[in-house]
Amino acid sequence: MPALPLASPDEARLDPLIAVALKEARIDPNWASTVRSLATGKLSPRTLNCCGSGCKPCVNDIKRVTADVLTSLQDPAAAERRLEDAQAGLARRGARRLARGLKRRLLG
CA dist 20 and 86 (Å) reads: 7
The 10s digit of each residue's pLDDT in 51-76 is 999 889 999 999 999 999 999 988 88
Report the number of distinct structural domains present in the chain.
Answer: 1
In this predicted structure, what is the pLDDT of residue 103? 75
pLDDT at 79: 78
Q: Is residue 50 part of a domain?
A: yes
Higher pLDDT, 23 or 104: 23
User: How remote is the C-alpha of 70 from its chain's centroid?
Assistant: 11
pLDDT band per the 50, 70, 90 thresholds, residue 1: very low
Residue 30 belongs to a domain: yes
| Gap between the Cα atoms of 62 and 101, Å rounded | 36
CB 65 within 8 A of CB 25: yes
Q: Are 39 and 72 in contact (CB under 8 A)?
A: no
> Tens digit of pLDDT for each residue in 12-33?
889 999 999 999 999 999 999 9
Residue 2 domain-assigned (yes or no):
no
Global pTM exceeds 0.95: no
Question: Is residue 62 within 8 Å of residue 35, measured between CB atoms?
Answer: yes
Percent composition of the chain: helix, strand, coil (DSSP 3-state, to 5): 70, 0, 30
Report CA torsion sign: 68, 70, 73, 75: negative
pLDDT of residue 93: 63
Enumerate residues 6+ apart whose C-beta is below 8 A from 16: 83, 86
Q: Does a structural domain hold residue 94?
A: yes
Whether 52 is covered by a domain: the verdict is yes
**Could you tell me the residue range of the domain that residue 31 belongs to?**
14-107
